[in-house]
Structure 1
C-alpha cells in the first residue's frame, strides 16, 4: 500500500475497532497470525479479541481527538502513532491514556503486528491498555 492507503487503512481500523468497538470487523483488518505486544505483554489474535470484549464490557466510550504524530513508512509498511485516548467507563469515571503504537501491515493490507506502550494519566483507567 502507498502512504495514503496506509493512512486511510489505519484511520478506518481505529474508527471501526477502537472507537466503535465493532468486534465483527476484527477479521476484516487483522491477519489470523496477528501478534500484539502491549506494555511488554504479547497476545495473539484470539487474546486481542478477548481484550476488545473486556473493553466493551467496561467502557462507555473511547475518544481520540487527533493523532499527535503519524509517521508512515511505505517501504516497511508500518505506521507509527502517538495519541491520547479519552476513556469514559460505564461507571461514569473518565481518564486519559497516552499511547505510542507501531503497526505493521502485510501485502493484503491487514495488520500483522502492533507494538504499543501505554501510560495512564488517571488511576481509574489503570490497566485498560492490556485488560
Structure 2
C-alpha cells in the first residue's frame, strides 16, 4: 500500500534543493517576461522585478564555509507592451569604482546616475518605463 493512499495519512513536506560547487566569474540571469493567457496567447509580463546591487549566493554553496558574492554590472531592459515590438536600452556600471551607472540608448544618448534605484526601474526621458530582461553580475574578488 502506498503511503499517500492510506486514509488520514499526510506525507511530510519535502524540500528539494541544489548546492553549487562552483560559480562563474560573470553570472547572467534572464528574467521571465512572457506568459500565456487563457487562450494560449503569449503576452509580456509587466511586473516589476527588484534585484540587488550585491547578490550573495553563499547560502547555496556546497561548502558552508565558502562565500560567493556578485556585484551588479549591467542589464538589458525593454520598453513596450508587446513582446514583438518595443525598444531596448542597456544599463552598465561605470568602469571606474564609484563612477556610477550609465543608461545607454541606441540613439547613443547616455544618461548617467549614481543611484542604483534608477537602474532597477529605468525610466527614459521621464516618461518611458523599461523592464529589465537580462541582468549581469560580476564575481567580487577578495574582501570588499
TM-score bracket for this pair, using the shorter chain length: under 0.3
Greater helix content: 1
Larger radius of gyration: 2
- Relative to the length of structure 2, the TM-score reads 0.25
- Relative to the length of structure 1, the TM-score reads 0.27
Greater strand content: 1
